[in-house]
Each structure stands twice: as structure tokens, then as C-alpha cells.
A and B are shown apart, each in its own frame.
Chain A
Amino acid sequence: MPHKWAMVIDLDRCTGCEACVVACHAENNIPTAGEDQAARGRTKHWIRVERYWEGEFPNARIRFQPVLCQQCDAAPCEPVCPTYASYHTSEGLNAQVYNRCVGTRFCANACPYNVRFFNFYNPVWEKPLNLQLNPDVSVREVGIMEKCTFCVQRIHGAEIQAEAEKRELKDGEFNPACVQSCSPKAMVFGDLNDPASEVSRLAKSGRNTKLLGELGTLPNVNYLERNS
């Protein structure tokens, strides 16, 4: 049976530390936008921690919600791409084929979560940051869309390793960068088609909700609602 990669994010555990954001930038060769570009609304974070306030000061409560590509099963970004740059893989991921992207930006408009990012300029890394580029991830040029891949390079790496050792993938054997760096262990990644996996177990929780689930996009990222 093919894998069905999914994530569970426990909002009760998220502290909003943004370690996931930093890890994602390092793993996926995402340049920082800089002060000027950020002011113009062009920050690029494949994962971001959204902050919402509940109530008024001093009785305010803050709520954190990490938002990344939801890897929807019925993804609105996929049918609108005229060149098939945005397509659905056999493992249920929304892939973005950089070579095929001409940059119509239709997918980004169609995405209800605003988790697709456009390269307004060619990316630059100030020295010596250029030395920390991840060789497993392609650097995206000006004019194309990019987005969270669930660290597809790690998925493929682990699959190849398991195949070479003639064994099945083990649950928790590898994790996307954001999950790996989440110190309160709010994020769990795994295969939903494996009923014994941690992700399958948590997804059955009564607290499970989908972000904008009412839109019918069938996201593969599950949020466990706050109890506290």
C-alpha cells in the first residue's frame, strides 16, 4: 500500500517558539526576505506560526497556530495550474515542479491558506550563509512558485535507504525539519495508511479538526484543538 503522509499538530502543546520556522528555512534553502521586502509583504515562510488574541488586555490569551501547506487531497491549487507544475503525487503530496512552473501565480490565489510563495526576485544569501545551503534541495529562481513539500527530500531519502536495506519504513524513522525541531513535541509526522503509526493514533482524537475544513479541501494536516 502506498504511503499517505500526514501531520498532527497539537495546539495545546505549541508554545509559538518558531523553531519550526527556522528549521524549515535552513532545511529548504529559503532565503530571508529582509526588512524592506518584509515591509512590502513578501516574507517567505513555508511554515509560519499564526498568533491570534482572545479577549482584551489584561485578560488576553494568545493562541498559536503553525500553518504550513495542508497537502490537501482535494487541493484547489492543483487544477488551476496550466502547466501541471502543481500536481498530486501517488503518496498524496501536493508537489510543485519548479522546472515546469511559468509563474502565473494562479495556484497561490486559489490556495485558501496562503501557503504558496512566489520568488519576486532571484534569491540571495549573504556570505557566509551561502555555505549552509542544503545540497538535497534545489534553489528556486525568480518567477516561480514554491511551497512546503513535507521535506520530500527526507521522505525520498528514507525510502531509498529502507529499500536498500530491504525493509519497511519504520514509524518515526525520519521527520520533516519542522517536526524534528519542535521541542514541545507539538508536531507529529507519519503515514496515515499505517494504523499503528503515532499520526494515525492521534488523528483519531476527538480534538481533531481541519483548518478551514468547511471548504472541503480535505487537508492532511490535522490540528488537535486546545483544551486548556
Chain B
Amino acid sequence: MEKTSEQIQRDLVRPLYRTGTAYWIAVAFCSSLVLAGVSAFCYQLYHGIGVWGLNSPVFWAFDITNFVFWIGISHAGTLISAILRLANATWRRPVTRCAEAITVFALSIGAIIPLCHIGRPWLGYYLIPYPSERHIWPNFRSPLLWDFFAILTYLTGSVSFLILPIIPDFASIRDTTTGWRKRFYGALSLGWEGTPRQWHRLETAMHIMAIVIIPVAVSVHTIVSWDFAMTLVPMWHTGIFGPYFVVGAIFSGIAALILAMALLRKFLHLEEYLHPIHFQNLGKLLLTMSLLWFYFTFAERLTTWYGNGTPEMTVFWFTIRQKFAPFFWTMVFCNFIIPVPILAIKRLRTITGTVIASSTIVIGMWLERFLIVVPSLERKFLSYSWGTYRPTWVEDTLMASSFGLMALLYLLFSKFVPMISIWELKAGLPEHTPVVAVEVPAGATNLSARESPFPGGVSS
């Protein structure tokens, strides 16, 4: 059953060379979604935000829901991958790269949305603290500014975290190909020769990044939650929001990761690399997060109920008993009642089972964000100025296109980068275990670029 080094190389590089019709159909479909989104945005830019369903007092709705949703999805990757690397969980090897790619793409989409949602996108650069001739600085007290810096930091970190461990794989493709690919991957591999010094540096860099990225990821979604918690709005102004959002983010992130892995497994024929055990292990993590999510939701609601403040209880009942009750209870079903039995019973925790649970969780977590943003704004303090929100086709299109963009970026990425880390997989092969780490003089290049001299892989 164990693969040899050559088989691994061949299997994982194959998708870079062979492209089927299904791939082009998928690319065309996703591109048309993205194009529709771009058109909708141009339409909005020409007419104004009025083409959305927003009104007074519901000034945020689908835009911020999707923003929080995508930033949440981005917590799959880097965080999971960093924790598994630090815990030295060997089963992580085929999982990390798909996870890290989700982070980078979902975060990029999350970062684009605020730019589309502001009233005058052409002035978005006002948020950058550049030395202006009028000595005007951005307002460092605003959670939106913290968001700006947190997302920028996380994006920079995640891109490095994704690219660092791809370098040896780029080099190994470079060494086994010809033509434009040789030049292309030669440039991308940044002069990687596989010397012990380079391996050592990669190991150090990955170790530092894995440690640094965890607090960054936690801070990002905490700060996103503070966009709400730092106001007086009923049901927004609560201290639980920071950890609640982080838990929700990791929860939806793992679900997205399982869905991505299942799709990759099917379409890139990676059945022999992504085993049921990977889905089972991630399923256990997902189960933990589902229970945690329920705990936080329950704690938040129970505290509000006992507090019994009039503005809070208005929103509370509005969400769970009145207008938004269908959405609220769908959310509870999707995030807790359906996935928990599937993930808790070993017989059901199969690939199909985890995929079903993940699908409902992604829907449930989108609803969760919607239920945080909209009901509170519709029922804010003075009953005379209560409002009602209904999305328009522009918002629907923009939302659909954000999913299209995610899929498109993922599709393109899988065409240029092996979706499973080749060298890390090889480092886990038994043939590598007897290798003795010896002092190799710096600059020695007798080791293949593809093979790590460190038993058990470089990253710890």
C-alpha cells in the first residue's frame, strides 16, 4: 500500500499536466460568476449603494455578513495547519496545503468586500496612515482601522506560510520538466538547491511562522467581532463576541477544508493520498468546534435572557421567536443538531458523513453571521425608527460571485501547484527514517532537491 517516492511525485504532479473537459467547464462557470460580480459592482459604482437593499437603519447586511463569513473561512487553513505542525501530527501531511490555500484565497476575498461596500471606494486609501500634507491621520480608535491592519498582517503571514513549504516542490518540478515549465518553476523555486543550509532555514522559518500565525489568526477574528462589540447596539455590545467569533471562524473553516478536500480527492483522483482517516480526524475536530459553538451560543443567549434588558430582549425575541426565527432555528439545526450525531457516531463519521456535516455547517455559519448583523440593526432602541431589510439582485450577485471567485482561485491554484506537499509526504515515508542527520559542510549539494535530509520532515 505504501507508495514510493517516484509514485508520489508522479501522482501529485499529474494534475499540472493533464487538464480534462470538466476542469474547463468549471473554470468557465466560475469565471462567469466572477464576471457577473464585477458587472454588478460596476453598476453599483455608477449608481451608488442605493442599488443594494440597505436602508436607514440597516446600514450593513449582506456585505458585512459575507465579509465576516469569508474571514471566518480563512481561519481553516493557516490555524489548523500551524497547530497540527506544532503538535507534530503526522497525519497532517496531505492536508496542510489545501488548508493554507483556503486561508489565502478566502482572506483575499474577505479583504476585497469592505472596499466594495464603502460608499466611496475610490477614497479607500484614507484608511492607510500615510503622511498627508494636511497632517490628517486615520482614527486609530476605530475597530475598522484595527481590521485593516489585522487583515493585512494575517494576509502577509498566510501568504508566506503557504509559499514557504511550496518552494521545495517547485524545485522538484523544475528538476523533472522541460520547456516553459522549467523556466516558470525555476523562477518560482527561488534558487532552491536542497542544501542542508536551505533545509535548515526552511525549517526555522516554518517553525517561526507556525508560532507567529496562531496569535495573529486569533486576533483577526477577535477584531472582526469588535466591529460589532465596540458599539452600544443591542446584542452586539457583549464581551463574549471575541472568543465566540474565533470559535465560529475555526468551525466554519474546518468545514470548508473538509469540503475542499473531498472535491480535490474526487476530481484530482487523490483517493490514495486523502484517506478516510484524514476526514475522520478532521471530523473529530469539527465535532469539538460544533460543541464549542453551541456552548458559546447558549451562554450568550442565556446571559441576555437573565439580563432582561428591554432593547436586548427585543432583538432576542425578534431573532428566536419572531421574524428571524426560521433562520435562527435553521442555523441551530445546521450547526448543531445535524452535524453532532453524524460526527459523534463512529460509523457515520465517513467521508460522506463529514461532507454532509460540513455542508450544513457552512450554511449554518453564514446564517449565524447574518443573524448577528441584521436583526440588531432592524430593532435598535427607538421603535419609531425600526426598519426592514431585503437584499436586491446586486447583493445576491455579489455574494454568488464571491463563491465563484473562491472556486476559481482554487481551480487555478491546483493547476500550477501540487495540492499535496510532495516533499512532506516523502519525508513521512519509511525509507526516510534510517537517514542519519550528519554534519554536512555548508554548500554541499549532493542531496537531491526533492529529499529532505531531516527524518520526519523539516517542519516540526
Q: How far is the CA of A40 from the CA of B392 in the complex (A)?
A: 11
Residue A50 lies at the interface, judged by CB distance under 8 Å to chain B? yes
Return chain A residues, CB-CB under 8 Å to B126.
82-83, 100, 102
Question: Which of the residues B119, B127, B144 comes within 8 Å of A119, measured between beta carbons?
Answer: B119
Instruction: Name the residue on B nearest A51 (C-beta).
Output: B384
Q: Is there contact, CB below 8 Å, between B48 and A119?
A: yes
A120 to B120, CA, bound (A): 11
Please measure, in the bound complex, the distance between the C-alpha atom of A83 and the C-alpha atom of B123, giving whole angstroms.
10
Q: From the candidates A79, A117, A122, A143, name the one contacting B141 in the complex (CB within 8 A).
A: A79
> Does B227 belong to the interface (CB within 8 Å)?
yes
Determine if A112 and B380 form an interchain contact, defined as CB atoms under 8 angstroms apart.
Answer: yes
**Contacts A118-B119, A144-B120 given: A81-B142 contact, CB under 8 Å?**
yes
Contacts A41-B388, A82-B138, A82-B144; is A143 near B120 (CB within 8 Å)?
yes
A114 to chain B, nearest CB (A): 4
User: Quick check: B120 and A118 within 8 Å, CB to CB?
Assistant: no
In the bound complex, do residue B49 and residue A83 qualify as a contact, i.e. CB atoms below 8 Å apart? no
CB atoms of A212 and B381 under 8 A apart = yes
- Tell me whether B50 and A105 are in contact (CB under 8 A): no
Which A95-126 residues have a C-beta within 8 angstroms of B?
100-106, 108-110, 112-114, 117-122
Interface 9-residue window, one of B1-9, B56-64, B321-329, B331-339: B56-64
Task: Decide: A102 and B118 in contact? CB cutoff 8 A.
Answer: yes
Our pick among B56, B123, B230, B382 for the contact of A42 (Cβ within 8 Å) is B56
Q: Are B232 and A110 in contact (CB under 8 A)?
A: yes
Q: Give the shortest distance, in Å, between A156 (CB) and chain B (any CB).
A: 20
Q: A121 vs B382: C-alpha distance in the bound complex, in angstroms?
A: 26
Q: Is A102 touching B50 in the complex (CB atoms < 8 A)?
A: no
Q: List, in ascending order, chain B residues with CB within 8 A of A16's CB.
A: none
Closest to A99 in B: B123
| CA gap between A110 and B380 in the complex, in Å | 10
Is B377 an interface residue when CB atoms closer than 8 A count as contact? yes
From B58, B124, B387, contact of A102 by CB (8 A): B124
Q: Which residues of A contact B231 (CB under 8 A)?
A: 76, 80, 109-110
CB distance from B395 to the nearest CB of A (A): 13
Say if the beta carbon of B460 comes within 8 Å of chain A.
Answer: no
Contact of A105 among B60, B136, B139 (CB under 8 A): B60
**Number of residue pairs spanning A and B whose beta carbons lie under 8 angstroms apart:** 144
Bound CA span A118–B49, Å? 9
Contact residues in B for A100 (Cβ distance below 8 Å): 126, 136
Q: Which residues from chain B contact A104 at a C-beta distance below 8 Å?
A: 114, 117-119, 144
* Complex CA–CA separation, A144 to B53 (angstroms): 17
Known: A76-B232, A109-B59, A109-B231. A114 touches B380 (CB 8 A): yes
Contacts of B48 in A (CB 8 A): 119-122, 142-143
A40 vs B50: C-alpha distance when bound (angstroms): 10
Q: What 0/1 readout, one digit per residue, does chain B (339-371) give for beta carbons within 8 Å of chain A?
A: 000000000000000000000000000000000
User: Given A41-B55, A82-B142, A118-B49, does the pair A103, B120 have CB atoms closer than 8 Å?
Assistant: yes
Chain B neighbourhood of A52, CB < 8 A: 383-384
User: Are A41 and B47 closer than 8 Å at their CB atoms?
Assistant: no
**Chain A residues, CB < 8 A from B114:** 104
A83's partner among B117, B138, B377, B388 (CB-CB below 8 A) is B138
Which bucket holds chain B's interface residue count?
A: 35 or more
Also in contact, A120 and B380, with CB within 8 A (given A41-B388, A80-B143): no
B60 and A42 contacting across the interface, CB-CB below 8 Å: no
Contacts of B118 in A (CB 8 A): 102-104, 143
A40 pairs with B55, CB closer than 8 A: yes
B residues 36-51 touching A (CB-CB < 8 Å): 47-50
Q: A84-B138, A102-B126, A118-B49 are in contact. Are A109 and B233 (CB under 8 A)?
A: yes
Question: What is the bound-complex CA distance between A58 and B114, given in angstroms?
Answer: 51
Q: How far is the CB of A84 from chain B (nearest CB, A)?
A: 5
Q: In the complex, which residue of chain A has the Cβ closest to the Cβ of B148?
A: A82
Question: B119 contacts A101, CB within 8 Å?
Answer: yes
Given A41-B388, A143-B49, A114:B127 Cβ within 8 A = no
- Residues of A with C-beta under 8 A to B120: 101-103, 142-144
Name the residue on B nearest A107 (C-beta): B59
C-alpha spacing A82/B53, complex, angstroms: 24
Q: Closest chain A residue to B140 by CB distance? A: A82
> Please, which residue of chain A has its CB at the minimum distance from the CB of B388?
A41
A44 to B385, CA, bound (A): 12
Residues of B within 8 A of A112 (CB): 232-233, 380-382
* Chain B neighbourhood of A137, CB < 8 A: none
Set A42, A106, A119, A142: member contacting B142, Cβ < 8 A? A106
Query: Residue-by-residue, is A192-228 near B (CB-CB < 8 Å gives 1, otherwise 0)?
Result: 0000000000000000000110010100000000000
B13 on the A face (CB < 8 A) = no
Query: How many whole Å from B73's CB to the nearest CB in chain A?
Result: 22
* B59 A83 Cβ-Cβ under 8 A: no
Beta-carbon nearest neighbor of A49 in chain B: B384
A80 lies within 8 A of B232 (CB): no
Q: How far is the CA of A92 from the CA of B181 in the complex (A)?
A: 65
Known: A109-B59, A109-B233. A103 touches B119 (CB 8 A): yes
A133: interface (CB < 8 Å): no
Pick the residue among B47, B49, B136, B139 that contacts A81 (CB under 8 A). B139
Report if A42-B50 is in contact (Cβ < 8 Å); known contacts: A82-B145, A109-B231, A117-B56. yes
Candidates B145, B148, B381; contact of A113 at CB < 8 Å: B381
A50 in complex: contacting residue of B138, B382, B387, CB < 8 Å: B382
Task: Return 22 A-B CB contacts under 8 Å, by A number.
Answer: A37-B50, A41-B55, A42-B50, A79-B230, A80-B143, A80-B231, A82-B138, A82-B144, A83-B139, A84-B138, A102-B119, A104-B119, A105-B60, A108-B57, A109-B60, A114-B380, A114-B382, A118-B54, A121-B47, A142-B119, A143-B48, A211-B382
Task: Give A contacts to B, CB under 8 Å.
Answer: 37, 40-44, 48, 50-52, 65, 67, 76, 79-84, 100-106, 108-110, 112-114, 117-122, 142-145, 211-212, 215, 217
Give me the 9 closest cross-chain CB pairs, A-B, nearest first.
Answer: A103-B119, A143-B119, A120-B50, A41-B55, A105-B59, A50-B384, A114-B385, A142-B48, A143-B120
